[in-house]
């Protein structure tokens, strides 16, 4: 495998000093933050704009309609993973990241200026759907390309640390969306937000996307011309010639994404519907948890540079198999915010052993000519099937009086990730990217 090691890693390592690497990580991760902000601000503001696109007397039906359009965004992710992975492997990581953030900008701006149902009738929800399809396509392509770029731009011995900032910005995007809505609620009353102010977060998203676009224009390319021009680069046919790492990416992501969504996006509803928290208390608790979770990523990414990616993933898989059922059972009965905070944070500490290296461990498993495609498509398939459906599955099982079955489901998928990890060699040392030099 040595002769197949990524030549782009060497090219990226010599001419760029630490300052330039940091700027490259900033440029790559800024777009990631913007894309996830834009994607999640939709869910954060749906309560206010739902009547504008789905008129009627039943607010539950309105929210279900907006939730259905939110779910469609997940269905577009595999297409985005394929499309932008192909672009990145054939035309360069930089080009793919520029197009991706530009598409997200257009989708956000489109929602911000959309006429309501009262103005244009059925065309309003149809155009809202189109905008969300564009955003889902963009996010589906962002993960694989940014994970690949941030892994390639980093010096080998600190690759886990650098790449961990992908999830820092992913979580940061969710926090930023929540913060903007909280500020909006402080400045305007409910009637004003429903009338027009719900559009403000989407204008902010479009504007920040433009900033990210300019930052990304300054990035240097990490893939080599020889890799981009190699026969089959960015093609499904060549990717299928590497079935083992593709299946391993899907297996890792299945348990990782489900655990992530179960203890982040779904947990707020779980605290309200099951533990009996008020909506405000649940929001405050999750904001504090997510902030601490975000700060965990770089230290645990750096830890993987010392102990190996495989060991980090084994801690995640075994930990979630052991703690998920008792911990979620505990959270179902907890009544104080500090106790809920500590319980959720404990779960997210274990999950951080996966999320902090989620991108880099997958990037190291593929040769450069199909790296972005392999990472992006494998992730998007598993994320759509397991991460995107987490909330629906949880609520469905609860409605059937089988809520604890969801706890076992999360634990079982963590077992799948654990078994997948057992089937792997440590990609830090045995992958397609240049390994760290031995310690002297």
Task: Give me the percent of the chain exceeding a pLDDT of 90.
Answer: 41
d(CA 41, CA 119): 24
DSSP 227-282: HHTSTTTT-HHHHHT-HHHHHHHHHHHHHHHHHHHHHTHHHHHHHHHTS---HHHH
State the angle between helix axes of 123-153 and 93-113 in degrees (0 to 180), rounded to the nearest 10.
Answer: 150
Query: Span 203-225, mean pLDDT?
Result: 86
* pLDDT of the residue at 84: 93
Does pLDDT of 1 surpass 50?
no
CA dihedral of residues 250, 251, 252, 254 (deg, nearest 10): 80
* pLDDT of the residue at 304: 94
Q: Are 108 and 45 in contact (CB under 8 A)?
A: no
Structure-block tokens of residue 222: 């990490």
Helices (H) and strands (E) in the chain — how many of each? 23, 0
* pLDDT of the residue at 354: 97
Q: Using alpha carbons only, what angle is made at residue 267 by residues 406 and 205, rounded to the nearest 5 degrees?
A: 125
d(CA 199, CA 165): 29
* pLDDT of the residue at 437: 61
* pLDDT of the residue at 17: 63
Kindly indicate the confidence band of residue 199, based on its pLDDT and cuts at 50, 70 and 90.
very high
Kindly indicate the confidence band of residue 61, based on its pLDDT and cuts at 50, 70 and 90.
low
* pLDDT of the residue at 141: 83
Q: How many residues does the chain have?
A: 440
- Which residue spans within 61-194 are E strands per DSSP? none
Domains by residue range for the chain, with CATH: 2-429 (1.20.1250.20)
The residue that leads in pLDDT, 222 or 89, is 89
312-339: b or e for each residue (b if 16 or more CB lie within 10 Å)?
Answer: bbbbbbbbbbebbbebbeebbebeebee
d(CA 140, CA 103): 11
* pLDDT of the residue at 138: 87
* pLDDT of the residue at 155: 80
- Tens digits of residue pLDDT in 354-383: 999 998 999 999 999 999 999 999 999 998
d(CA 138, CA 359): 17
128-161: b or e for each residue (b if 16 or more CB lie within 10 Å)?
Answer: beebbbbbbbbbbbbbbbbbbbbbbbbbbeebbb
Q: Are 198 and 113 in contact (CB under 8 A)?
A: no
* pLDDT of the residue at 345: 97
Does pLDDT of 430 surpass 90?
no
The residue that leads in pLDDT, 301 or 174, is 301
Q: Which of 135-149, 310-324, 328-342, 416-430 comes out lowest in average pLDDT? A: 135-149
Placement of tokens 């593929």 in the chain: 366
The residue that leads in pLDDT, 149 or 342, is 342
**CA-based nearest residue to 315, from 355, 344, 345:** 355
Structure-block tokens of residue 80: 């985005």
Query: Cα separations (Å) of 147 from 106, 283, 392?
Result: 23, 29, 28
The residue that leads in pLDDT, 194 or 300, is 300
d(CA 5, CA 368): 8
Does pLDDT of 303 surpass 70?
yes
Mean pLDDT of the chain: 86
The residue that leads in pLDDT, 26 or 171, is 171
Does pLDDT of 436 surpass 50?
yes
d(CA 28, CA 26): 6
Q: Which of 37-46, 251-260, 261-270, 294-303 comes out lowest in average pLDDT? A: 37-46
The residue that leads in pLDDT, 189 or 36, is 189
3-state secondary structure of 389: coil
Q: Which of 52-61, 220-229, 361-370 comes out lowest in average pLDDT? A: 52-61
The residue that leads in pLDDT, 86 or 4, is 86
């Amino acid at each position: 495998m040595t002769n197949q090691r990524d030549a782009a890693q060497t090219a990226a390592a010599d001419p760029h000093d630490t300052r330039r690497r940091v700027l490259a990580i900033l440029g790559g991760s800024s777009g990631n933050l913007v894309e996830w902000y834009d994607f999640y601000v939709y869910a954060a503001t749906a309560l206010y704009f739902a009547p504008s696109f789905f008129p009627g007397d039943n607010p539950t039906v309105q929210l279900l309609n907006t939730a259905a359009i939110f779910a469609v965004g997940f269905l577009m992710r595999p297409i985005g993973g394929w499309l932008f992975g192909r672009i990145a492997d054939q035309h360069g990581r930089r080009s793919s990241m520029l197009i991706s953030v530009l598409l997200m900008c257009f989708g956000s701006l489109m929602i911000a200026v959309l006429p309501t149902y009262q103005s244009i009738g059925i065309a309003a929800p149809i155009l809202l759907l189109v905008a969300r399809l564009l955003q889902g396509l963009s996010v589906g392509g962002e993960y694989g390309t940014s994970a690949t770029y941030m892994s390639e731009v980093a010096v080998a011995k600190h690759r886990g640390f650098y790449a961990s900032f992908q999830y820092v910005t992913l979580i940061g995007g969710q926090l930023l969306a929540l913060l903007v809505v909280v500020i909006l609620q402080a400045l305007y009353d409910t009637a004003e937000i429903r009338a027009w102010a719900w559009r403000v977060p989407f204008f902010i998203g479009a504007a920040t996307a433009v900033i990210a676009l300019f930052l990304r224009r300054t990035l240097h390319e990490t893939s080599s011309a020889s890799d981009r021009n190699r026969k089959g680069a960015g093609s499904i046919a060549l990717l299928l010639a590497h079935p083992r790492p593709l299946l391993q990416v899907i297996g890792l992501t299945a348990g990782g994404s489900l655990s992530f969504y179960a203890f982040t996006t779904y947990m707020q509803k779980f605290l309200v519907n099951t533990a009996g928290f008020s909506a405000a208390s649940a929001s405050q608790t999750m904001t504090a948890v997510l902030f601490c979770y975000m700060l965990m990523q770089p230290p645990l990414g750096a830890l993987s540079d010392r102990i190996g990616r495989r060991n980090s993933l084994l801690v995640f898989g075994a930990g979630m198999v052991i703690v998920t059922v008792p911990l979620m059972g505990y959270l179902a009965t907890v009544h104080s915010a500090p106790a809920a905070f500590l319980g959720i944070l404990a779960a997210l500490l274990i999950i951080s052993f996966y999320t902090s290296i989620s991108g880099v461990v997958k990037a190291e498993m593929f040769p450069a000519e199909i790296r972005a495609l392999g990472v992006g498509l494998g992730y998007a398939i598993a994320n759509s099937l397991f991460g995107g459906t987490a909330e629906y599955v949880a609520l469905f099982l609860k409605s059937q009086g089988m809520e604890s079955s969801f706890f076992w489901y999360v634990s079982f998928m963590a077992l799948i990730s654990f078994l997948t990890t057992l089937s792997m060699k440590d990609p830090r040392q045995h992958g397609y990217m240049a390994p760290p030099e031995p310690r002297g």
